[in-house]
Structure 1
Amino acid sequence: MARLSGGDPSLLRRLNAIAVLRALYAAEELTLTELVKASEVSRPTVEEIATDLGEQGLIEEVPLSPDAPRPVGRPAKRYRFRPESGHVAGLEIGPHKALCLVADLRGDVVGRARAELTPEMDAPDRLGVAHRVLGAAVEGRPNVRVLGVGTTGVVSGGKVVRSERLPGWTGLDLPAEFGGGCPVLAGNDTKLATLAEHWRGAAHGVDDVVYVRAGRTVSLGLLLGGKLHAGHNGAAGEIGVLRRVGRSASVDRFVELVAATVLTVDPQLVVIGGGLAQAGDLLTTPLRTELARLCLFPVRVETSMLGDDSVALGAVRLALSRVEHELFSVADVA
């Protein structure tokens, strides 16, 4: 982002500060000269902004290592973004487990807690366990800026609009239940797992993806043009309500489902997650063959490597996106 001149000085300074912060967020460390070049902001302005960002705790000047060769003349100033300056949390509340991951502001997981649940557990008990898991995961980690929550069912506007699997779950307002300490964002578990695959999984760098979460039930996540497709009611991909599909263990039924989705969406990649992903090549090799036979064009098929962390990791990504928006937004400038 180039430095601008004229107009509202507060807006220009914010734009320049964003350019400097973005450059440091994307790198491990930068010298002052490298930071000037990367941000396209003048050297004096970069130094002023670096001081301000340092006072906010977002960046810091990196001291010269005692073991490093001593340079001739004044050593170059080096700066780094401080990912430890804040945290985000991602909480999965499912039929069988509550899992919370805590990550720094670069998304690196620094804490976790887990507890087992049962599908028959009533909503107050399930929520009580989830609160305890969240508390255990964030304990001793200050400044949790956003919490992401993923759960089964149709989730829209933070509320569970409809849930077929958990007693008393329909109508639950997740931001109200977990809010108070920080903003709370909520989403469907399969859709958040799809986000995780795009962020750090098999779908990294791929923008048109069908994610199939297959275990006790089957559900889909659709990533189209790099964005999650939720549908008009937030119910896109909830094919588990088709009982024969949701309960069927037939590989033929599963292949038909995936083929129909591939023909509808025309994705670059199909990712198999959930319990069925443990089959690995025993599943993907015949699935590729059948999809090549049934579909118009070949499509890549991969299994997820994120395991049980996929939903909670997607909730972390959801929370981190909110933090990144706050860090790099100009909306707070009047």
Structure 2
Amino acid sequence: MARLSRGDPSLLRRLNAIAVLRALYAAEELTLAELVKASEVSRPTVEEIAADLGEQGLVEEVPLSPDAPRPVGRPAKRYRFRPESGHVAGLEIGPRQTLCLVADLRGEVVGRAQAGLTPEMAAADRLGTARQVLGAAVEGHANVRLLGIGTTGVVSGGKVVRDHRLPGWTGLDLPAEFGGGCPVLAGNDTKLATLAEHWRGAAHGLDDVVYVQAGRTVSLGLLLGGKLHDGHHGAAGEIGALRQAGGSVELVAATVLAVDPQLVVIGGGKDPLATTLRAELARLCLFPVHVATSTLGEDAVALGAVRLALSRVERELFSVADVA
């Protein structure tokens, strides 16, 4: 791969290719004329780029349906992005379950596998079960480009920096444990559940959100200005050390006061917490705050890991940093 430089003609070609690919990525299919208009690239260049992307397996020309009415003259060329040309996987490794979702390059979930765990399991056993689930989920799905992993604890740079819930979990290097087949990204489970809510859940389209994961402990995910907030050490939202539910509800309310979000989402299926939190927020906050219960259920963390992986793949597809 050659580094682009100013004035390099390959830069213009790469920018044109990105414009064409973005237009196709955003649509089910486009005629050649529609693709020229959407990409703002000349017709001959679009045809060349579409052919190149076709050789890479990312784009294909759509044949005329046998049932479609026959147009007068030559039928218009139609193109589509091939989301099935690659896949990403999202793997949750939690105290009580490991769940893997496999999605195509548009985020459509096409594979799933799951197994139960216990909080007391040794790290080696937990990892072994997670590897089996990953293998079962990706079976039959070609070209897995990236794996996202969500797990408990403070996760920074792919490593579990600190975790008090799972035996032997602190210090684990997840990319090293699961690498080899494809690149690996890892993050905290609550933060990835927040990503999932923003992508396909109750927080879709909102930029300032507090996500509350309620279970045996309580943790927070913060979406600020449309971006996930990790904190300096990757520990933002780790309020699990405050064990008592009442104390946690006072701290969540304080966070809402500090952040002033558009929405608070409650995950983990704890409706009593939602009821208590609604009452506290109504009592304490300067402005009304809507509180919603997550509809993603047990898929939230794995779906967030899919989004983490897919975001990296999208950046690679639309990057101008390198050119062949």
| TM-score (norm: length of structure 1) | 0.93
Separation (CA, whole Å) in 2 of partners of 1:73 and 1:299? 59
Asked if the contact 2:101–2:113 (Cα under 8 Å) also holds between the matched residues in 1, the reply is: yes
- For residue 102 of structure 1, what is the aligned residue in structure 2? 102
- For residue 3 of structure 1, what is the aligned residue in structure 2? none
**Equivalent position to 1:294, from 284, 289, 313:** 284
- For residue 37 of structure 1, what is the aligned residue in structure 2? 37
Asked if the contact 2:242–2:248 (Cα under 8 Å) also holds between the matched residues in 1, the reply is: no
Asked if the contact 1:97–1:114 (Cα under 8 Å) also holds between the matched residues in 2, the reply is: yes
- For residue 264 of structure 2, what is the aligned residue in structure 1? 270
DSSP-derived class of the 1:323 partner: helix
Separation (CA, whole Å) in 1 of partners of 2:104 and 2:142? 10
| 1:225-304 superposed matches below 5 A | 225-244=225-244, 248=245, 250=246, 253-276=247-270, 279=271, 284=274, 287-304=277-294
What is the deviation of 1:299?
Answer: 1.1
**Equivalent position to 1:316, from 306, 310, 322:** 306
What is the deviation of 1:283?
Answer: 5.8
Separation (CA, whole Å) in 1 of partners of 2:112 and 2:140? 12
Asked if the contact 1:255–1:291 (Cα under 8 Å) also holds between the matched residues in 2, the reply is: no
What is the deviation of 1:298?
Answer: 1.0
What is the deviation of 1:320?
Answer: 0.3
Change (3 A) 1:263 1:201: same
What is the deviation of 1:229?
Answer: 0.7
- For residue 318 of structure 2, what is the aligned residue in structure 1? 328
Supply the AA of the counterpart residue of 1:128: G
Supply the AA of the counterpart residue of 1:307: G
Identity over aligned pairs, percent? 86
Asked if the contact 1:29–1:81 (Cα under 8 Å) also holds between the matched residues in 2, the reply is: yes
Separation (CA, whole Å) in 2 of partners of 1:13 and 1:327? 14
Supply the AA of the counterpart residue of 1:270: V
Separation (CA, whole Å) in 2 of partners of 1:260 and 1:192? 22
Separation (CA, whole Å) in 2 of partners of 1:33 and 1:218? 53
What is the deviation of 1:154?
Answer: 0.2
Asked if the contact 1:90–1:149 (Cα under 8 Å) also holds between the matched residues in 2, the reply is: yes
Separation (CA, whole Å) in 1 of partners of 2:278 and 2:213? 17
What is the deviation of 1:193?
Answer: 0.3
Separation (CA, whole Å) in 2 of partners of 1:142 and 1:176? 22
| TM-score (norm: length of structure 2) | 0.96
What is the deviation of 1:243?
Answer: 2.6
Query: Which portions of structure 1, spanning 4 or more consecutive aligned residues, are displaced by more than 3 angstroms?
Result: 282-290
What is the deviation of 1:290?
Answer: 3.3
Separation (CA, whole Å) in 2 of partners of 1:144 and 1:285? 42
What does the per-residue CA deviation read over 1:263-289, in whole Å, with 9 as the maximum and x for residues that have no partner? 11111110001131xx3xx76466434
Separation (CA, whole Å) in 1 of partners of 2:7 and 2:322? 17
| 1:145-184 superposed matches below 5 A | 145-184=145-184
What is the deviation of 1:188?
Answer: 0.2
Aligned residues: 319
DSSP-derived class of the 1:149 partner: strand
Supply the AA of the counterpart residue of 2:288: P
